[in-house]
Amino acid sequence: MRKLSMDELKRLNEEEFKKQKKFPLALVLDNIRSMHNTGSIFRTADAFRIDKIYLCGITACPPNRQIEKTALGATKSINWKYFENTENAILELKKQNYVIASIEQVENSVSLCSFQPNKKNKYAVIFGNEVKGVQENVLKLCEHFLEIPQFGTKHSFNVSVTAGIVMWDFYSKISTGIN
């Protein structure tokens, strides 16, 4: 056994990435405080070739040195857009026929492992502030409420970890052959 070299991994360059078919998933970052979390989400979104990221409210935007510490250049490959308020981002996504889901602990939420997305739909998933979660007024615009099962003493995952789990879950359930 040996580790593969960077050449053997055959990763796309930025120009090739931009031309590739994207996975039909948009991420909405609702007032994310940590620029490291934002950067990490960009980097994971690049790995799954996610369609776009909408940055909302206090979520910092590229170019930003703190975001780049964890994004490692993914802010240049992933399409992103800033919105002053999250509601406007959701309304734009609805006009583009995205099904809107939030990751939040609410009454009657559905376990992420039980949720089966329709392969014909495009989805947008909202990730909330590290302390306050997804805003109440934003929850009112959602069609699905998803929750990741947890079995320890803490009530939530780090938002960048949550985003990674959700991206992998959606990809594994509705992969459209983008690779």
Q: In this structure, how many other beta carbons lie within 10 angstroms of the beta carbon of residue 94?
A: 14
Residue 112 — φ and ψ, nearest 5°?
Answer: -55, -40
| Residue 109 CB partners (closer than 8 Å, separation 6+) | 145, 146, 147
Cross-strand pairs, 125: 27, 101
With a CB cutoff of 8 Å and minimum separation 6, the contacts of 143 are 99, 100, 101
| Mean pLDDT within 105-133 | 96
Q: What is the pLDDT of residues 63-79, one digit of tens each?
A: 999 999 999 999 999 99
- The pLDDT of residue 57 is above 90: yes
CATH for 15-174? Answer: 3.40.1280.10
Domain ranges within the chain, ordered by starting residue: 15-174
| Phi, psi (degrees; rounded to nearest 5) at 110 | -110, 135
Q: What is the pLDDT of residues 6-41, one digit of tens each?
A: 889 999 999 999 999 999 999 999 999 999 999 999
pTM over 0.85: yes
